[in-house]
Amino acid sequence: MATLESRIPQGPLADKWTNHKNHINLVNPANKRNIDVIVVGTGLAGGSAAATLAELGYNVKTFCYQDSPRRAHSIAAQGGINAAKNYQGDGDSTYRLFYDTVKGGDYRAREANVYRLSEVSANIIDQCVAQGVPFAREYGGLLDNRSFGGVLVSRTFYAKGQTGQQLLLGAYAAMNRQINRGKIESFNRHEMLDIVIVDGKARGIIARNMVTGEIERHSAHAVVVASGGYGNVFFLSTNAMGSNVTASWKIHKKGAYFANPCFTQIHPTCIPVSGDHQSKLTLMSESLRNDGRIWVPRKKEDVIAIREGKLKPVDLAEEDRDYYLERRYPSFGNLVPRDVASRAAKERCDAGFGVNATGEAVFLDFSSAIMRYGREQAAIHGNHNPSDKEVRELGEKVVENKYGNLFQMYEKIVDENPYKTPMKIYPAVHYTMGGIWVDYNLMTTIEGCYAIGEANFSDHGANRLGASALMQGLADGYFVLPYTIGDYLSKDIRTGKIPTDTPEFDEAEKNVRNQIDALINNNGTNSVDHYHKKLGKIMWDKCGMARNEQGLKEALEEIKALREDFYKNVRVTGSAESKNSELEKALRVADFLELGELFAKDALHRNESCGGHFREEYQTEEGEALRDDENFKYVAAWEYKGDPREAVLHKEDLEYKNIELKTRSYK
C-alpha cells in the first residue's frame, strides 16, 4: 500500500512555495540531457509541461490521440482564464483569488495548493502575452478583463469566446519550438494503454499507434499524465468526443489512488438536449451570465403557451417573468457559482417551469444588456435622443463584439437568432474536479508518475469556479511540475537509459494485446455506443445533478451488470491492425464502465452535500447544499483492489489554517 503523504511544505502559507523551490534538488543541465520524460496528453497542462521540460533540457516524448497537439480538448475552452493581477483596481489580490477558490470549492481543496495557484496565476498572463497570445485589449492598449461566476472582481483575461484556443495555440507554439530543436518527439494519433512500473517506479508506457495498430514500448525516467477529465462517463457532456479516462484509469489500476471521483461539475449554461441522436452537448460560455439574465415564466399557463409556440418569450411582460437567480441570490444574482445556478435551473424545471418541449430549459436573455449598451453607445456617439431601434442596433453590435462566436454557434445548432429571442439553456456535465490523487509535488502514489491539469484531483475542491481550469493547467505545466519533478529526477542522473526489453514491459504489452484481442474477437451483437449510452443514462439519472442513497445503490448494481454484459455482448468490427475507431471507443468505454462504479461508490459514501456533489438527503430547508465538515473534511482517495467496488478508501484530512470554514452563501 502506498502512503498518502501530501508533502505540504512547512512555514507560513504565503512562503511555502518559495521555500519549497529554494530547497528542491536541482539537476545539472548536462545531466538533464540524459533524462527522458514521457508526457501523455498535449492539452494546456501537457503541452505547457512538455515545452518547459524540453526547454530545461530533458528529452521529452509527448503522446496524444488527436492528429496534432493543437487539437487537444483545451482548445474548446471559451470564457477565460483567471489571474490575480488587479489591473482593474477593484481590490483583487493573491489572497482574494485564493479565498474565492477555496470557498467556491466548498472547502474541499488543499489550502497550500490553492495559494500556490493564485500566486503563480499572474505569471501565466505575462508568459502568454510574451508568447504572442492575442488577449482582448482596451483602447489604451492594456489588457481587458471580465467577471465570472462566484466572484465580485473582474480578474478574467480572455480572447473573445476562444480563450482556450488561444492559450493552447500558445503552448503548442512553445512545443513546436522544442520539436524544431529536437528536444520533443511528438507521437500523435497514439494512445497510452498502460503504464510500466519497474521496482515500484514509473518507467514507461505502452502505446498503440492508432493508424497502424502497432503496440509500442516507450521508456522514460518519469511519466506525466495530462490526459484531461472523465466527464464523458456520462456519454453526453461538453467534452470532446474522444476525451476519456483510460490513461488515468490504467495508472489507477497499477497503484495511483483516484480521488473524489464523484466531484463533477455540471455547467448551467449549455444548449439543451434536442433528441436521441445527440452525440454531445455544447456549452455556452459562462461569461454570457455577465450580461444575460436567466428567467422562466412566473405562471404555468405562460409556460404552456410558450412551449406550444403560442406565446413568444419577448412578448411576456416583465412582471410575469421570474428572474429566479436574482430573486434567490440578490448579491450575486446571475453570477452565482455553477453548482448553485445549475441546481436552481433544475429546481425550476422540476417544478414544471421548463420552457422547451422536453421541459428542460430556461431562458438566458440579453435584451436588457442590448438596450443598456445601446443607450451607452448612443450617448458616446452624441445621439441623446435615439429611437428604440437605433438603441437596439447599437447594443447588438456591442454584444456581438463580446460574444459573437458564441451567438453564431448557438444559431447554427438551434436555428434561432439569440439577438432577437432569448437563448434556451440547461445544465450539462462539464468538468471533473476528481481525478488522480497527487501530492504537493503533483506526484501520484506511484513513484515517478505525475498527474497534472484536469487529470489530477486538482485544486478546485468540490466545485470549480469559472476560468480556473485553464489557470490550473498552465500553472501545473509551466510553473509547478517542471520544478518539482527535478527533485525526483535528481536521483536518476546515473540511471542511464531505461531498457524496454524487460519482463515488466513484456507483461504490460501482453496485457494490452490480450485486451485488444478479446474485444476484436468477441462475437457480440451490440455496438460500443449502445453501452456507452446506457452507462451515460445510469450516470445522469442516478449520479447526476442530485443523488440519493437508493439511486446510488441501484447505480452500483446496474453498472456492474452492464459491464458484464459489455464483455459478453459487445461487437467491435474491423481489425486491430489499422485505424479502427470502434476499437478505440471500446477500449475507452471499458474503462468508463469501471470508473462509473467507483464514482457511484464515492458519491454513496460521502454523506453530505458539497459543491458539485449534491445528496438529496443533505440539504437545508431552502434547498441549499448541507456540508458536514465534522465528518467529511477530507479528500477521498481510492485504492484499486481488482474490482472498483472493492476499492479501499484512504482519507487525506484537510486543514484550514488561513481561512475560516463558513457556510457558503451567495445570497
Partner 1 sequence: MNLTLKIWRQKDANTKGKIVDYPISDVSPDMSFLEMLDVLNEQLVAKGEEPVEFDHDCREGICGTCSLQINGEPHGPDRGVTTCQLHMRMFKDGDTIFIEPFRANAFPVVKDLIVDRSAFDRIQQAGGYISVNTSGNTIDANSIPVNKHDADKSFDAATCIGCGACVAACKNASAMLFTSAKVSQFALLPQGQVEATDRVMNMVRQMDLEGFGNCTNTGACEIECPKGISLENIARMNREYLKASVK
Ligand X SMILES: Cc1cc2nc3c(=O)[nH]c(=O)nc-3n(C[C@H](O)[C@H](O)[C@H](O)COP(=O)(O)OP(=O)(O)OC[C@H]3O[C@@H](n4cnc5c(N)ncnc54)[C@H](O)[C@@H]3O)c2cc1C
Question: Which residues are annotated as catalytic?
Answer: 338
Is 628 within 8 Å of 576 (Cβ atoms)?
no
Q: Which residue, judged by CB position, is nearest to ligand X in the bound state?
A: 43
- Binding-site string for partner 1 from residue 230 to residue 249, where x marks contact by CB under 8 A and - marks none: ----------xxx-------
CB of 279 vs partner 1, minimal distance in Å:
5
Nearest to 86 by CA among 136, 133, 156, 17: 156
Query: Cell 485544486, residue?
Result: 459
Q: Choose, by CB under 6 A, the member of 13, 16, 79, 402 that binds ligand X.
A: 79
Which residues within the stretch 49-68 sit at the binding site for ligand X (CB under 6 A)? 63-66
- Identify residue 499 by its one-letter amino acid code: P
Question: Which range binds partner 1 by CB under 8 A, 280-288, 294-302, 366-374, 602-610?
Answer: 280-288
- Identify residue 419 by its one-letter amino acid code: Y
Tell me: does residue 574 bind partner 1 (CB under 8 A). Answer: yes
What one-character-per-residue DSSP string does 116-151 give?
A: HHHHHHHHHHHHHHHTT----B-TTSSBP-B--TT-
CB closer to ligand X out of 118 and 377 = 118
531: cell is 453501452
Nearest to 593 by CA among 100, 233, 194: 233
Which residues within the stretch 220-239 sit at the binding site for ligand X (CB under 6 A)? 226-229, 238-239
Query: Cell 445556478, residue?
Result: 341
Tell me: does residue 73 bind ligand X (CB under 6 A). Answer: yes
- Binding-site string for partner 1 from residue 184 to residue 223, where x marks contact by CB under 8 A and - marks none: --x-x----------------------x------------
Tell me: does residue 455 bind ligand X (CB under 6 A). Answer: yes
What one-character-per-residue DSSP string does 548-614 give?
A: -HHHHHHHHHHHHHHHHHHHHHBB--S-TTS--HHHHHHHHHHHHHHHHHHHHHHHHH--S-BTTB-
Tell me: does residue 356 bind partner 1 (CB under 8 A). Answer: no
CB of 129 vs partner 1, minimal distance in Å:
4
Is 339 within 8 Å of 316 (Cβ atoms)?
no
Q: Choose, by CB under 8 A, the member of 39, 75, 153, 429 that binds partner 1.
A: 75
CB of 528 vs partner 1, minimal distance in Å:
8
368: cell is 436588457
Bridge partners of residue 224, in order along the sequence: 39, 450
CB closer to partner 1 out of 64 and 603 = 64
Tell me: does residue 459 bind ligand X (CB under 6 A). Answer: no
Nearest to 163 by CA among 179, 144, 138, 186: 144
Read off the DSSP letter of residue 447: B
- Identify residue 266 by its one-letter amino acid code: I
CB closer to partner 1 out of 277 and 657 = 277
Which does residue 180 touch among ligand X, partner 1, none (CB within 5 to 8 A, set by kind)? partner 1
Tell me: does residue 247 bind ligand X (CB under 6 A). Answer: yes
Tell me: does residue 66 bind partner 1 (CB under 8 A). Answer: yes
Tell me: does residue 428 bind ligand X (CB under 6 A). Answer: no
Tell me: does residue 357 bind partner 1 (CB under 8 A). Answer: no
Residue 527 to residue 569: CA distance in whole angstroms: 9
Q: Choose, by CB under 6 A, the member of 43, 261, 297, 448 that binds ligand X.
A: 43
Nearest to 540 by CA among 342, 299, 294, 353: 342
Residue 136 to residue 142: CA distance in whole angstroms: 9
CB of 216 vs ligand X, minimal distance in Å:
12
Strand segments (E) across 65-109: 81-82
Q: How many residues does the chain have?
A: 667
Question: Which range binds partner 1 by CB under 8 A, 91-99, 269-277, 602-610, 618-626?
Answer: 269-277
Tell me: does residue 105 bind ligand X (CB under 6 A). Answer: no
500: cell is 524496454
Tell me: does residue 292 bind ligand X (CB under 6 A). Answer: no
Nearest to 477 by CA among 156, 175, 249, 148: 175
Q: Choose, by CB under 8 A, the member of 478, 488, 505, 640 that binds partner 1.
A: 478
CB of 394 vs partner 1, minimal distance in Å:
19
- Binding-site string for partner 1 from residue 384 to residue 413, where x marks contact by CB under 8 A and - marks none: ------------------------xx--xx
Max Cα separation, the chain? 82
- Secondary element (H or E) of residue 104: helix 94-104
Tell me: does residue 55 bind partner 1 (CB under 8 A). Answer: yes
CB closer to ligand X out of 66 and 484 = 66
Which does residue 644 touch among ligand X, partner 1, none (CB within 5 to 8 A, set by kind)? none
Residue 83 to residue 293: CA distance in whole angstroms: 26
Tell me: does residue 468 bind ligand X (CB under 6 A). Answer: yes
Which does residue 129 touch among ligand X, partner 1, none (CB within 5 to 8 A, set by kind)? partner 1
Bridge partners of residue 635, in order along the sequence: 652
242: cell is 474522444
What is the 3 state secondary structure string of 226-251? CCCCCHHHHCCCCCCCCCCCHHHHHH
- Identify residue 13 by its one-letter amino acid code: L
Which residues within the stretch 184-223 sit at the binding site for ligand X (CB under 6 A)? 191-192
CB of 44 vs ligand X, minimal distance in Å:
4
Question: Which range binds partner 1 by CB under 8 A, 119-127, 226-234, 363-371, 556-564?
Answer: 119-127
Question: Which range binds ligand X by CB under 6 A, 5-13, 336-344, 421-429, 469-477?
Answer: 469-477
Q: Choose, by CB under 6 A, the member of 52, 59, 78, 162 that binds ligand X.
A: 78
Is 5 within 8 Å of 638 (Cβ atoms)?
no
Bridge partners of residue 143, in order along the sequence: 137
**Interface size with partner 1, residues (CB under 8 A):** 79
Tell me: does residue 611 bind ligand X (CB under 6 A). Answer: no
CB closer to ligand X out of 335 and 391 = 335
- Binding-site string for partner 1 from residue 76 to residue 115, where x marks contact by CB under 8 A and - marks none: x--------x-x----------------------------
Query: Cell 484531461, residue?
Result: 228
Residues that bind ligand X (CB under 6 A): 40-46, 63-66, 72-74, 76-81, 163-164, 191-192, 226-229, 238-239, 243-244, 246-247, 283, 430-431, 453-455, 467-470, 473
